[in-house]
Every structure is written in structure tokens, then in C-alpha cells.
Amino acid sequence: MTKDPLRIVHCVRSPIGGIFRHIKDLALSQAAAGHAVGLICDSASGSDFDNANVDSLRDKLSLGVERFPMRRQLSLQDMAATRDLYRHIKGLKPDVLHGHGAKGGAYTRFIGSLLRSQGQKIERIYCPHGGSLHYNPHSLEGRFYHALERVLLRMTDGIVFVSDYEYAAFETKVIEPTCATRVVYNGLQPSEFAPIEANPDAADFLYIGMLRDLKGPDLFIDALHNLHLHTGTVPTASIVGEGPDEPKYRKMVEDYGLSDKISFLGALPAREAFKLGKCVVVPSRAEAMPYIILETVAAERPLIATRVGGVPEVFGRYAKRLIEPGNVDHLTHAMKTALADPDALKDAAKLLRTCLADTFSVDLMADRITTLYRHSRGEVLQGDTANGQVQSSAQDPASETVYARTSNLS
């Protein structure tokens, strides 16, 4: 237990997917360490599965779990949301406001600045989780949101990036950060490193993730259709997840005449879903540091994935096995190869899992983030990196390197 507990409030707009997995693990670890922790999120987002996940935290976080209406796009309703959030946060008297994603980060930094102007000592921490960094910097939306990030940077005391790719994207698309920064990989629980075997009746391929184009389910379905055209047979597939584009994907499956081969199973815990497919396919067009990649590797499941975001940082020396994002022909070829030689992917899965537990650990993740809070508050802890030093320069899971980048911490 910590000798100097902090009052920490996490804020995210949509409590779904990997971003909420990150927040939940972080919040529970901080609470277990003796900190007072709270959570704020949108009241309209999330399925029954997601809402049950949020509710599971209510009796575990001493500062509570509260939900307020938060729109994804900027609108006049943001004024009312900011007012309600301000009143709630002010009453919690936090030491740290940690915003996740573009909207959560904007709320917490603005409100934290208001509280600072009233004399409250409060640290304003931001973790993009991809968010606005996914926008093309040459598009109208990209220019707007990246300009907004530059404005909000003046209200920021620390930034947590979940991959070195995300850090580089911020430097390239927004600006070089002027506050304390740290790259901290997402972490898994020790129990998640137990290998999982597929069921005897498992489908040939398994997609797990949000059902939206950014994650590539359409490419997955197109590749299955291509395999049918090329070979005359159709592999079986299971699609696990929920999302706004699900009706479109169901129609694709129906139009291709694959309804008897592809099953939509809704949201399931990843380790339960892993039993339902012989090979996991992650065809994302963009990512920051996807949990599903970490979970798949930790469970020693055969994996086909795209070269996006921080995924190469997980694969390390094996990154050449990743495929080009958005290229359905490359995806089709990779899936065809997996069908022809399944043992090769099984062997690759064993190699990838090597030393993953040392690097992608929940305890390490929580420790590195919480010590960033203390650095931001001017507290330099014995044994922690200070004075703007980089703790290590690269990450290769097969080399047993524990990675955490630090800068501007003096």
C-alpha cells in the first residue's frame, strides 16, 4: 500500500473496447495500491456487455462511477456536459485528472485548468489512445482536431502514450510535447498468459473486435469471399464483437452467400472467444496498442495481423510477418497460407509469446503511469527515472527488454 495516496479521477467518453480495458485495469491497480480512484464516462454509450463492465467497478472505486451525457462530435451540448462534469469533479477534490481519448482528454484538461485557477493543486494527464491521431493531418477534420490538441497541450501536465508509434504520431501530426511524457505499454494480468486450445469444432478463422470499418471486419469478410472464389470452398469463420457497422457486415455476408459459413456471436470475453477459432485475424486499418493483439499472443493463439500503430512493437523481430493494412489481397493470401500450413502459425505463436509477460504487465503499466503523476506533481521517487532521461530506446519482446520512455520530467 502506498504511504501517500492520491485522489485520481479517470474520464473517458465511450467506455468500450480496449480503451476501457486499459482504464479498468489501471483504476483497479491504483485502488489496490491504496489510492482513491473514480471514473466518469458517457451515459449513452455501450451495449449491455459494456454497461455490465462499467457497473462491475462501482463497488471497487472509492470515488465512485458516474455517467453523464457526452457527445462524440463537438456540439453546443458540450457546454452543458462541461458544466455538469465540473460540478461533479470539483466535489471529488482530485489530485489527478486523467483524461482518456480525445473527448475525455479535452474535458479533464479544461476542467482541471478551471480548478487550478481557483487554487486547487491538480495534475492534468492525457492519454490519446489513438483518438484524434487517427485523422489524416491534411484533411479538414484532421487540421481542426490537431490544432485543438495544440491548444489543449498548454493545459496539460503529462501525456501517456500507449506505444512509441502513438508518441511519434503526436510529434508528427500535432507538435513535440512540452510537458512530461511517457510511453507505457498496455498490460495484461498474469492469468492471461496461460495458453488456450481451440475447441474441436472451432471455426477456421476468428475475428474479435469492434464492428466498425476502422477495425477491418469488411476486409475479413471480403477475404473469405476471395478464398471462395479462388478455391471453390469457403472456410468457416466466427465474428465476435458489437459495433455501429454490424448491419452492413451482416448484409455483406448475406450478399456473398456466406451466411452458413460465417457466424456473428456478439460480444464475448476474449479468452472465451479464443476457443471458437483456429486462427485469429486482426485486419485493422489503424490502431494505437490493441489489447486483442496482446491477448492473442499471450494465449498462444495463431494470429494474422496488420502492420498498424504499435503492433510491430509487440511483434519485435517478427514484425516482418505483419501484413499491409487495407490490402484485401494480402489478407487473402495470409489466410490461404494459414489454411495450407496451420502448424507454421502455431510455431510462430509460441515464439511471439516469449517474454511477453515481462513487458506487457498490468503492474508495470500502473506503476509507470502513477509515477508519472508524481513526477508531474514535483515528487521524484527513489529508483525512478528523472531529469528527462530515456529509460530504453527500443522494444523487442523476444529480448526481455522492459520498455518505458520518459522525457521532460525535470
What are the residues whose beta carbons fall under 8 Å from the beta carbon of 154, sequence distance 6 or more? none
> Beta partners for 180?
158
pLDDT at 383: 44
Contact by Cβ (8 Å): 204, 280:
no
Average pLDDT of each block of 10 consecutive residues along the chain (410 residues)? 92 95 98 98 93 97 97 86 96 98 96 97 97 94 96 97 97 96 96 96 97 97 96 95 96 98 97 98 96 97 97 93 97 97 94 82 96 87 40 36 34
pLDDT at 380: 55
| CB half-sphere exposure, 164, CA atoms < 13 A | 15
Q: Amino acid identity, residue 278?
A: K
Q: Amino acid identity, residue 265?
A: L
Q: d(Cα 344, Cα 349) in Å, to the nearest integer?
A: 9
Cα-to-chain-centroid distance, residue 198 = 25
Cα-to-chain-centroid distance, residue 307 = 16
Q: d(Cα 300, Cα 114) in Å, to the nearest integer?
A: 48
pLDDT at 381: 54
State the SS3 of 175-205.
Answer: CCCCCEEEECCCCECHHHHCCCCCCCCCECE
Q: Where are the domains of the chain?
A: 7-187+361-407, 191-358
Residue 291's nearest CA partner among 22, 4, 86 is 22
Whole-angstrom distance between the N-terminal and C-terminal Cα of the chain? 26
Q: d(Cα 364, Cα 371) in Å, to the nearest integer?
A: 11
Contact by Cβ (8 Å): 7, 95:
yes
Best CATH choice for the domain 7-187+361-407 from the list 3.10.20.30, 3.40.50.2000, 3.40.50.300, 3.40.50.10320: 3.40.50.2000
pLDDT at 72: 85
pLDDT at 311: 96
Contact by Cβ (8 Å): 194, 162:
no
Q: Amino acid identity, residue 71?
A: R
Residue 44's nearest CA partner among 105, 103, 106 is 103
Residue 390, SS3 per DSSP: coil
Q: d(Cα 219, Cα 248) in Å, to the nearest integer?
A: 12
Cβ count near 388 (within 10 Å):
12
| CB half-sphere exposure, 203, CA atoms < 13 A | 25
Contact by Cβ (8 Å): 211, 217:
yes
pTM: 0.89
pLDDT at 408: 34
- DSSP secondary structure code for residue 220 in this structure: H
Largest CA distance in the chain: 70
Best CATH choice for the domain 191-358 from the list 3.40.50.150, 3.40.50.2000, 3.40.1190.20, 3.40.605.10: 3.40.50.2000
Cβ count near 321 (within 10 Å):
17
